[in-house]
Amino acid sequence: MNETVQVLPLSFDLSALLRQSVATFYSHLVTRPTGQALRLGIESQIGECDRPVLSILDFTQVVVLDYSCADETVAKLLLRYQNSGRTTAAYFLARGVGERHREPIEAVLHRHGLALGALLDDGERTLLGQASPLEAAAWTVVDRLGRATPDDVAAATGMDAAEAATALDSLARRGLLFAPGDDGGFYPLSSLLRGP
Amino acid sequence: MKVVPIPASLEERTFEQVVQALAADDRPLLDARRLRWVDPFGMLGLLAVGEVAAARGARPLLNLPDSPEVNSYLGRMGFFERAAPLFELHGEARRGEESVSDVLLEITPIHSHGDVHSIVDRVNERAIAILTRQLGYPIREAAQFSVVLSEVCQNIVEHAQSNGWVAAQTYNWARRLGRKVAVIAVMDLGVGFQGSLAGPHAQRYGARWGDAAALEAAFLHGLTRFHDPGRGQGLQQVRRTVARWGGRIAIRSGTARIADVPDWDDAPPLEENLAPFPGAQIAIVLPARVAETAPAPAGATRRESRP
């Protein structure tokens, strides 16, 4: 990986952040104002960083997540950074995503045409939300190999190299993979958590 | 004084009789002495009727049920506490028992998003326990109950421009369905779906615009008064969840009612020209899980009982 590019990992325990941001004893991620407060808290911390940030949205302690709160916390957060029309300064991964979280997260991501890499609570890694079959296949190969070029993806999936390159570029543009330099390689966001 | 007889069984369908009888401008006396069975929709409906009547002028009267069991149940659901400011009560109002309640969610006012938080905080563990033990839901499904509750309650705060109530309870619909159900009722007396959606959408519908068109727009197409494309999906997701569970969801607003009707119910999906009533009234019925769905007995009549 190109070592001149450094990404700062930030972890947001959403349940703990809820208590900080909303200043109440609420224990569940429900309602739009709660989601807005969480998102503003996350955006504020990202805004204080002077280099690209990998934000971990940790759902481990979240018991109830409703659609309205998921729309404000997850979808609108990604909309701001994934659709900014430039190389993203913020990457996002979800962690601790259980069955109870998955449905609202998937629903709001699909609603806005977004996707989000996730570390599920059973240890599996997956791409949530909206991605083309080629993007989903390419993301899975990169995640499994830890680093992959278009040729690697083409070899692993059977798609041609041009299709693989298009899919990988799209994933990188959407902030779902990391393409740090000119070595032609694409990296899963989870690799950033392991550090240099 | 206009006497409004309360049917012996008060729920979503028989509530219409009460609304029709309320049309007169006289001070109403709601006579519930013969009430033998009431569900959350019926209880909230009584409160809503009381508030509507009170807003017209004199405080309405309510003759409480003769049945000690019904009175006791109303007490456990917190009905009397909510009814006292609205009605001149006649009869013996029994307080709820102090012991651990079998109630899923007592009648709870909704004024703000904070109330929605409080409801979810209070009901989540209880709902999971009741839905898994009494209705046979897997835990991962039962955990979605609070999400359903949260979204329908937020509907009041976000769209009604008014306060409202929510209540929920489980019943044994022995004859109608042959199994237990959970019933959720959410009501407000706000601007209704037509009032909420009129600004951005009425012109597009032209002469078709009305309560039914507004309900179709929100219920079927997910339209809201907000331009935010993320809005409106809560109700759509609630519909999907209720359908997945084989349940029924209906919304009455103004003079119309729209519903997702499961195969165990014979109500029409859209009703128009009902007696006018302000706000929105939501009814959700979630049936117990069965290994294989059996049809209701032919010619069955309804005789619901509490567990």
Separation between Cα atoms, residue B238 and residue B263, nearest integer Å: 18
Q: Which residues of B touch A112 (CB under 8 A)?
A: 229-230
3-state helix, strand, coil in chain B (%, to 5): 40, 25, 40
State whether B29 and B144 are in the same domain.
no
State whether B79 and B152 are in the same domain.
no
Separation between Cα atoms, residue A157 and residue B193, nearest integer Å: 50
State whether B124 and B172 are in the same domain.
yes
Does residue B229 carry a pLDDT above 90?
no
Nearest CA in chain A to B232: A68
Contact status, residue A186 vs residue A172, Cβ threshold 8 Å: yes
Q: Is A23 left (phi over 0), alpha (psi -120 to 50) or beta?
A: left
Out of B48, B65, B98, pick the residue that ends a domain. Answer: B98
Residue A80 contacts B, CB cutoff 8 Å? no
Q: Considering only CA atoms, give the Rg of chain A.
A: 16
Query: Which residue among A64, A68, A99 sits closest to B146, beta carbon to beta carbon?
Result: A64
State whether B123 and B214 are in the same domain.
yes
Distance in Å, alpha carbon of A100 to nearest chain B alpha carbon:
6
Exposed (0-12), middle (13-18) or buried (19+): which is B208, by Cβ within 10 Å? Answer: exposed
- Tell which wins on pLDDT, A20 or A108: A108
Q: What's the mean pLDDT when you consider all of chain B?
A: 89
Q: Which two tokens stand for residue A58?
A: 């940790």
State whether B176 and B277 are in the same domain.
yes
Distance in Å, alpha carbon of B25 to nearest chain A alpha carbon:
39
Residue A19: band (very low, low, confident or very high) from pLDDT cuts 50, 70, 90: low
Does residue A2 carry a pLDDT above 70?
no
Query: Which residue among A28, A100, A112 sits closest to B117, beta carbon to beta carbon?
Result: A28
State whether B87 and B109 are in the same domain.
no
State whether B289 and B166 are in the same domain.
yes
Residue A106 has a pLDDT of 97
Neighbours of B17 (CB within 10 A): 15
Q: Which residues of A touch B124 (CB under 8 A)?
A: 28, 63-64
Contact status, residue A42 vs residue A55, Cβ threshold 8 Å: yes
Q: Which two tokens stand for residue B129?
A: 């326990």
Q: What's the mean pLDDT when you consider all of chain A?
A: 86
3-state secondary structure of A9: strand
Is A75 close to B230, i.e. CB distance below 8 A? yes
Is B233 close to A30, i.e. CB distance below 8 A? no
Query: Which residue among B121, B230, B237 sits closest to A27, beta carbon to beta carbon?
Result: B121
State whether B156 and B81 are in the same domain.
no
State whether B271 and B167 are in the same domain.
yes
Contact residues, chain B to chain A, C-beta under 8 Å: 113-114, 116-117, 120-121, 124, 140, 143-144, 146-147, 150-151, 154, 157-158, 229-230, 233-234, 237
Is B151 close to A33, i.e. CB distance below 8 A? no
Q: Which two tokens stand for residue A168?
A: 């990988």
Is B234 close to A64, i.e. CB distance below 8 A? no
User: Average pLDDT, stretch B22-32?
Assistant: 84
Distance in Å, alpha carbon of B50 to nearest chain A alpha carbon:
29
3-state secondary structure of B84: coil
Q: In terms of Cα–Cα distance, which of B153, B146, B121, B144 is closest to A102?
A: B144
Residue A104 contacts B, CB cutoff 8 Å? yes
Contact status, residue B60 vs residue B86, Cβ threshold 8 Å: yes
Q: Which residues of A touch B113 (CB under 8 A)?
A: 31-34
pTM of the complete model: 0.87
| Cα distances (angstroms) measured from residue B109 to each of B136, B165, B185 | 29, 4, 12
Chosen for mutation from A32, A105, A120 (greatest number of chain B CBs closer than 10 Å) is A32
Could you tell me the residue range of the domain that residue B42 belongs to?
1-98
Contact status, residue B134 vs residue B288, Cβ threshold 8 Å: yes
> Which stretch of DSSP H or E encloses residue A91?
strand A90-97
Helices (H), chain A: 14-22, 32-47, 67-70, 76-82, 99-112, 133-145, 150-157, 161-173
| Cα distances (angstroms) measured from residue A50 to each of A9, A42, A46, A191, B160 | 12, 15, 9, 21, 44
3-state secondary structure of B111: coil
Q: Which two tokens stand for residue B224?
A: 């809201």
Residue A125 contacts B, CB cutoff 8 Å? no
DSSP class of B184 = E
- ∠ at Cα A32 (A26, A37), nearest 5°? 65
Domains of chain A (ranges, CATH numbers): 1-130 (3.30.750), 132-196 (1.10.10.10)
Q: In terms of Cα–Cα distance, which of B269, B239, B242, B273 is closest to B256?
A: B273
**ipTM surpassing 0.90, yes or no?**
no
Out of B98, B132, B148, pick the residue that ends a domain. Answer: B98
Is B147 close to A104, i.e. CB distance below 8 A? yes
DSSP class of B160 = I
User: Average pLDDT, stretch B61-90?
Assistant: 95
Residue B95: band (very low, low, confident or very high) from pLDDT cuts 50, 70, 90: low
State whether B169 and B304 are in the same domain.
yes
CATH code: domain of residue B1: 3.30.750.24
Q: How many domains does chain B have?
A: 2
Complete edge-to-edge strand list for the sheet that includes strand B2-5: B2-5, B28-31, B61-63, B88-90
State whether B185 and B226 are in the same domain.
yes
Residue B199: CB partners within 8 Å, gap ≥ 6? B225
- Tell which wins on pLDDT, B233 or B168: B168
> What would the pLDDT profile of A132-142 be if each residue is shown by its tens digit?
999 999 999 99
Most confident of A2-16, B39-53, B187-201: B39-53
> Which stretch of DSSP H or E encloses residue B148?
helix B145-155
| Cα distances (angstroms) measured from residue A137 to each of A142, A143, A159, B246 | 9, 10, 9, 35
Q: Which two tokens stand for residue B282?
A: 């939501």
Out of B98, B117, B151, pick the residue that ends a domain. Answer: B98
Residue A111 contacts B, CB cutoff 8 Å? yes
Residue A121 contacts B, CB cutoff 8 Å? no
CA-CA-CA-CA torsion sign (A112, A11, A14, B161):
negative
Q: Which residues of A touch B111 (CB under 8 A)?
A: none
How many Cβ contacts (< 8 angstroms) between chains A and B?
Answer: 76
Residue A7 has a pLDDT of 67
CATH code: domain of residue B116: 3.30.565.10
State whether B171 and B56 are in the same domain.
no
Residue A16 has a pLDDT of 65
Most confident of A25-29, A137-141, B23-27, B199-203: A137-141
